[in-house]
Amino acid sequence: MKKYYILVISFIFLLITCSDDSADQQMDLSEIDIPEYYGTYLYNDEDCSGSDIQYATITENGITFFDFLGDNCDDTVKCYSKDIYELAEVTADTFLIITHEGSNVTNGEVYLTGDSVITVSFDGISGHETYTWEKIKDDIYSFTPVCDQEYGYTKDAADMMVYAVNDGGDLLWKNYIHGGIWDLASSVTPMHSGGYMILGAFHSDEYSGCCYTDDYDHRDIIKLDNDGTIEWQKEIEISNSGYSEYRIGIGTSLIETSFNDLVFLTVGAPGNNKLMIVMMDSEGETIWTRTYFDEDLNYSSGQAEILETDDGDLALAAYSWPSGLIAILDYDSGEILEENDLPCEYCRKIIKSDDGFAILGTGGSDNYVTLVKVDESGSLIWSHVYDDPSLWEPLDLIQTEDGGFLLFGYSQPAPYATLVKTDDEGNEEWRKRYNDYVGGGNGWIHKTEDGGYFMVSGYAVTKLDSECEVEWNAAGPTGFDKNFNNGMVSGINHDMKQIQGGAIMVGYGSASWE
């Protein structure tokens, strides 16, 4: 009996000992380190208005990106593209992305913020790009179906919109030019040799509508033939200043000179407001650039304009604190030859007028529309403020056959589009208002061959007769759709230029919006 008792005690002791060993082994297994950042992440979309569906998973095999190509940003096919990259640890919170041959990603890095956020940065097709992904699950999700073929760059929220319309309201042609998520054609000029040159930016930044860039150095130009077909396009390098911490304007006031050179205005470094002038030849090769930092000339969100003078120099209307100014510039360098302050602030438009210039800007105590007349050297002849009743937000200016002027601007109440006719000294003769909310703060007007006028805003395209009464209108007071006799476009206008028997407009839009 005593012997049996000892056996029982020994068995219990052995059982306890074995149980402890087993528990220790299980505990060792559960304590194997699985990095906290392993899991599934969702892309924080700031580029496609929240419609771009992208996921990333991080495991011991690296990082895998899943991009749903059926969302409103891609709108290509209802499957997930899949890209896998190995990761090489640099520090505890930084990894290099090991890219494969043919990848659009170079110099890629992944940064960890705790265990809940990763930042992915790399040199991509539009320059240096940075994206944020927020962790949604510690588990590794799978996404199906995975696409059975490779697709190119599919992201497309808005394209460069270019179209031409005749004075009778017929759509002559249209073209939506795709290059990135947000693409903007910001200015256009007809070419003496035929066709058109477009200035803009692919892969621009959408903010409060469209479009900006943070790249001081690069813009895109596109040469079209007379029917709107692309002949060639290229990215031009206009500086080596790198990237701005601000959103900056893409460019305005594109003109072709009598020497067949191209000139436009944009933003120069540093900051987000210093005026830069770019001159290039008809093939887009830079002749000279000049940023007017020391002279304190400002781009002012495109409220500046340039033209060629009759004697072959350049005339610029711009803002330099505390007032607007007109400057005569040397054609070959952009050096200021003469300058004069103006009795206005921001300058929206400059035109040749008699033996001098007329400038449309803002002035007076409440920055109402102001018309200024100067001689060929920029010396003041007269100025007039339109404050009773008020006219604000100057848009465009032309001189009429009687020597007076026709001003395009805003007035209250909505809708805002307003024309003001003056005599040759700027005294108001009459004004008319139109069912047009303008849109984007953009507007243009020119005289047509039949004695009427062609008036365009961000929203609308309107033909007026010789008395400025509406003959036809291709859009409602608001909205992107513009319906012509034989077709439509959908988008926002950012520039308009007169062509033979009609007009060409550029901006941003999309065939998918129609």
Amino acid, res. 425: E
pLDDT value of position 126 = 67
How confident is the model over 422-471, as pLDDT tens digits?
Answer: 999 999 999 999 999 998 889 999 999 999 999 999 999 999 999 999 99
Q: Is the pLDDT of residue 22 over 50?
A: no
CA–CA distances in Å: residue 482 to residues 237, 462, 465, 513:
34, 10, 20, 11
Which tokens sit at 55?
């996921």
In whole angstroms, what is the distance from residue 55 CA to residue 142 CA?
10
Q: What are phi and psi of 300, to 5 degrees?
A: 55, 50
Report CA Rg, the chain.
Answer: 31
Dist CA 514 CA 504 (whole Å): 19
- Give the mean pLDDT of the chain: 91
* Mean predicted confidence (pLDDT) in 218-244: 97
- Point out the least confidently predicted range of 2-11, 190-199, 303-312: 2-11
Token pair for residue 142?
């799978």
Which pLDDT belongs to residue 450?
96
Cα–Cα dist 428/421, whole Å: 6
- Mean per-residue pLDDT for 113-121? 93
Coil, strand, or helix at residue 10? helix
Q: What span, in angstroms and rounded, lies between the C-alpha atoms of 216 and 319?
A: 20
Q: Average pLDDT of 296-312? A: 96
- The answer to whether the CB of 120 falls within 8 A of the CB of 110 is yes
Q: Which residues contact 389 (CB under 8 A, 6 or more apart)?
A: 411
Q: What pLDDT score does 33 carry?
A: 67
Provide mean pLDDT across the span 88-107: 86
Give, in degrees to the nearest 5, the angle at Cα 418 between 417 and 420.
Answer: 160
Q: How far is residue 65's CA from residue 60's CA, in Å, rounded to a whole number?
A: 15
Q: In the CATH hierarchy, which fold is given to the domain comprising 159-513?
A: Methylamine Dehydrogenase; Chain H (2.130.10)
**Whether pLDDT at 127 is above 80:** no
User: How far does CA 183 lie from the centroid of its chain?
Assistant: 6
Q: Using the predicted structure, report yes or no on whether residue 421 has a pLDDT greater than 80.
A: yes
Tokens of 87: 């990761």
Q: DSSP letter for 143, please.
A: -
Q: Is the pLDDT of residue 34 over 80?
A: no
Q: Where are the domains of the chain?
A: 39-137, 159-513
Q: What percent of the residues of the chain are helix, what percent strand, and what percent coil, each to the nearest 5?
A: 5, 50, 40
Written in H, E and C, the secondary structure of 429-478 is: EEEEECCCCCCCCCEEEEECCCCCEEEEECCCEEEECCCCCEEEECCCCC
Average pLDDT over residues 263-284: 97
d(CA 511, CA 361): 35
Q: Give the residue carrying structure tokens 């209307």.
A: 317
Model's pTM, two decimal places? 0.86
User: Region 246-268: what's the mean pLDDT?
Assistant: 98
At 135 the pLDDT is: 97
| Burial track 372-405 (b if 16+ CB lie within 10 A, e otherwise) | bbbebebeeeebbbbbeeebbbbbbbbbeeeebb
Q: What span, in angstroms and rounded, lies between the C-alpha atoms of 299 and 362?
A: 15
End-to-end CA separation in angstroms for the chain: 98
User: Residue 265 forms beta bridges with which residues?
Assistant: 252, 277
Chain CA centroid to CA 272, Å: 14
**DSSP for 300-316, written as a single string:** GGG--EEEE-TTS-EEE
Residue 7 has what pLDDT?
34
Q: Is the pLDDT of residue 365 over 90?
A: no
HEC letters along 273-295: CEEEEEEECCCCCEEEEEECCCC
| pLDDT the model gives residue 141 | 95
CB 115 within 8 A of CB 90: no
Question: Would you say 389 and 406 are in contact if contact means Cβ atoms under 8 Å apart?
Answer: no
What average pLDDT does this structure show over 383-409?
95
User: Could you tell me how many helices (H) and strands (E) the chain has, helices first?
Assistant: 1, 39
**HEC-encoded secondary structure of 185-229:** EEEEEECCCCCEEEEEECCCECCCCCCEEEECCEEEEEEECCCCC
The per-residue pLDDT for 2 is 36
Q: Are 307 and 281 in contact (CB under 8 A)?
A: no
Binning pLDDT at 50, 70 and 90, where does residue 207 land?
Answer: confident
**Domain 39-137 belongs to what topology?**
Lipocalin (2.40.128)
Length of the chain (residues): 514
Query: Quick one: pLDDT band at residue 332, thresholds 50, 70, 90?
Result: very high
pLDDT of 31 over the 80 cut: no
Confidence check: pLDDT of 327 > 60: yes
Q: Can you give the pLDDT at residue 352? A: 98
Closest by CA position to 360, among listed 439, 430, 421, 303? 303
pLDDT of residue 258: 98
